[in-house]
A and B are shown apart, each in its own frame.
Chain A
Amino acid sequence: MKPQRDVYIAGVGETKFGKHRLEFDALGRIAALQALKSSNINRPNIIQSAYVGNGTNGLVTGQTVLKDLGMCGHMPIINVESACSAGGMAVHLAVRDVATGFTEVSLAVGCENHSLHMQSGTAMAPAMTDIETVHGAVMTGKYALRAQRYMYETGAKIEDLALITVKNRRHATKNPYAWFKGDISVEEVVNSRLVASPLTLQQCCGIADGAGAVVVCSQEMARKLGIEKPIKVAATVVRSGPYHNRPRDITGDDITEATSRQLYEETGIGPEDIDIIELHDAFTIAELLYYECLGLCGKGEGLQFLRDGNATLGGKCVVSPRGGMLSYGHPIGASGAAQIAACVKQMRNECPGYQVDPVPRVAMTHVTGGGLSGTEHAACTMHMLVRP
C-alpha cells in the first residue's frame, strides 16, 4: 500500500534478543517505552491506536503489554497474529491508520517469549490442523527441502550456505541487541549438530525472546513532536500466500516475489536503489534464495552475489546489517517490528560499532509468516523506508 498521505516513523525501540526470564508483555513494554520516549511522547494518552504482534503467547496480548503503561482506555488496541509476520504486520496496520487519516500517531509493537513456553529440543511446527503437520512437518525441515533442491539444481555446497551465517554474525559483532555474534568459521557452521539435513544448528535462527516497537505519525505530528530525523514509510505491502498444491519451484518464493514487485512498483524504488535490507534469514538457505526473489541478482546467481561481497559492507546492498535472524534469533511475533527498528537506527546513524557507512538512505524489510500446506508461506510483509 502506497500511503494516501505521507507517514513518518517518529521513534523505535528494541530489546536485546536471546533467552529472557521476562514474559512477552514485559519485553513489549521495554521496546514500546523506548519507541515512545524516542518520539518525544511523554504521557500515555498521546497515541491514538496501537497494534501488537504476537504469535504464541495467548489472548489480549496487546492490552496486557500496554495496560501497565496506562495506555488502555485511551485508544483501540488490536492484536495481530500471522506467525513470523505478526510484528511487521502490526507496523503495516499502524501505518495504514495514519495514511488514511484515521489517526495522527499510532504505535506498533511486536513481542514474543518462546523460551518460557516451549519444550526444549523440539522444533516449531504449524498447527495440527495442517495436513503437513500431521505428517511430521517442522519449519526447519521445510526450509531444508528448499536447501536440498537448491543444492541439487545449482551444485552449491553446504559450505556455501554456511557463508551466510559467517557474514551475518560478523555484521552483528558489535551490536548489543544481537544474541549470537562475532567470528565463526565455515567449518564450525558445517560441523555443528545436524538439525534437518542439510541444515546444521548454526544455519538455523535461535529460538529467542524479544520485542521491537515503532511509532508512526503524520508530517504535522512529526513537526509537533519535534522529531529531528523522521524516516518516511515509502510503502508497506502485506500479501497472503497463493494456494496451489501442485509441483512448483521452491528455490523461488512466489509470495516474496509478488510482494517485492508490488513494493517496487508503488515506490518507484528498485532493488538497485536499496542500501540495506533486513530479510527473513531464519535459515541460511532463505537469505540466499531471497537475493534472487527480491531481484538483487538474477535467478541462480545468489551464490555469486554473496561470494562477490555484494551483500556485505562495501557491496551493492548490505543484507542483514544488524546480523539478521541468524544473529538475533527469531521470536516470531517480534522480528518484523525489530527489523524496522534496526533499519531506522541505521538510517539515523545511531549504530555505534555496527553503523553502515555511508549512512543508508533507503532500507527495505521483509518477513514471511506461517508454514501452511499448499503455500510457500501464509503471509509476507514488506516495508520500504526512506531518509528524506
Chain B
Amino acid sequence: MADRGNKKEPEITFFHPDLLEIPTDGSPAYLKGYRCRACGRLDFPKLSPCPSCWGEEFDVVPLSRTGKLYSATDIFVGQAGMKTPYSFGYVDLPENLRIFCQLEGEIGSFRCDDDVELTVGTIRTTSDSERITSYKFKKVGA
C-alpha cells in the first residue's frame, strides 16, 4: 500500500490571509473587512456569499486599527492543548464590527471600555509546537 493514508497535511501557522494583512513595506498590519458590492454590507470575517443578499463580489476595506474593548476575561482553565493563563475579549471597531480576539498584555489588566489597538502575535501552537500567528489586540500605547 502507498503511504497516502499516513501523509499529513501541514498545519497552518498563519491565521488567516483572508483576515489579516501584514504589508511587506513595513507599514502597520490591518484587518480586512469585506464590503458587498451589491448591498454595501461590511463584514468581518469574510462571508461569501454575503449573508444579506448572497452577492459574491466584495471590495476589501482596511479596518480601523483601534477600538474599544467591550469585555475581557482571563482564562485559567483553557482549551485542551492551550497554555494558561491567557486573555480574550470582544473589541468593537468604529465600523460597527465586533472582533473576538486574544489580548496581549498583563493578566488582570484589561477593563471594559479600554482603548485597544491591533497587534500581531501567537495565539496557540500546532501539534508540532509551531507557533500560529494571528491578529490580537493590546492596550493603546502598551
- Residues on A lying within 8 angstroms of B by beta carbon are 119, 121-123, 125, 131-138, 140-141, 144-146, 148-149, 152, 193-198, 243, 245-248, 250, 373
Let me know if A245 and B70 touch, CB within 8 A.
no
Q: What does the 1/0 interface line of B68-99 toward A look like (CB < 8 Å)?
A: 00111111111110100010111010001110
Let me know if A145 and B72 touch, CB within 8 A.
yes
Let me know if B70 and A247 touch, CB within 8 A.
yes
Bound together, the chains give a CA A135 to CA B79 distance in angstroms of 10
- Residues on B lying within 8 angstroms of A by beta carbon are 15, 43-45, 51, 70-80, 82, 86, 88-90, 92, 96-98, 100-102, 108, 111-113, 123-124, 134
Residues of the A chain whose Cβ atoms lie less than 8 Å from the Cβ of B70: 145, 149, 247, 250
The smallest C-beta distance from B94 to any residue of chain A, in angstroms, reads: 10
The smallest C-beta distance from B6 to any residue of chain A, in angstroms, reads: 22
Let me know if A197 and B108 touch, CB within 8 A.
yes
Bound together, the chains give a CA A133 to CA B79 distance in angstroms of 9
**25 pairs from A and B in contact (CB 8 Å cutoff):** A122-B77, A123-B78, A125-B79, A131-B45, A131-B100, A134-B123, A134-B124, A135-B101, A136-B79, A136-B102, A137-B88, A138-B78, A145-B70, A145-B73, A145-B89, A148-B72, A152-B71, A195-B77, A197-B73, A197-B74, A245-B97, A246-B97, A247-B96, A248-B98, A250-B70
A-B contact sample (19 more), CB < 8 A, given A134-B123, A138-B78, A247-B97: A122-B80, A123-B75, A134-B124, A135-B100, A135-B101, A136-B78, A136-B88, A136-B102, A136-B124, A141-B73, A145-B71, A149-B70, A197-B74, A197-B108, A245-B43, A245-B45, A245-B98, A247-B70, A373-B100
Residues of the A chain whose Cβ atoms lie less than 8 Å from the Cβ of B123: 134-136
Let me know if A137 and B100 touch, CB within 8 A.
yes
Bound together, the chains give a CA A196 to CA B45 distance in angstroms of 26
Residues of the A chain whose Cβ atoms lie less than 8 Å from the Cβ of B82: 136
The smallest C-beta distance from B35 to any residue of chain A, in angstroms, reads: 14
Let me know if B75 and A136 touch, CB within 8 A.
yes
Q: Which interface residue of B51, B71, B89 has the most chain A CB atoms within 10 A?
A: B71
- Known interface pairs A131-B100, A248-B98. Does A138 touch B108 (Cβ–Cβ under 8 Å)? no
Residues of the B chain whose Cβ atoms lie less than 8 Å from the Cβ of A149: 70-71, 112
Bound together, the chains give a CA A136 to CA B82 distance in angstroms of 8
Let me know if B45 and A123 touch, CB within 8 A.
no
Residues of the A chain whose Cβ atoms lie less than 8 Å from the Cβ of B92: 247
The smallest C-beta distance from B110 to any residue of chain A, in angstroms, reads: 9
Bound together, the chains give a CA A119 to CA B77 distance in angstroms of 12
Residues of the A chain whose Cβ atoms lie less than 8 Å from the Cβ of B45: 131, 245
Residues of the B chain whose Cβ atoms lie less than 8 Å from the Cβ of A125: 79
When C-beta atoms are compared, the residue in chain B nearest to A195 turns out to be B77
Residues of the A chain whose Cβ atoms lie less than 8 Å from the Cβ of B96: 246-247
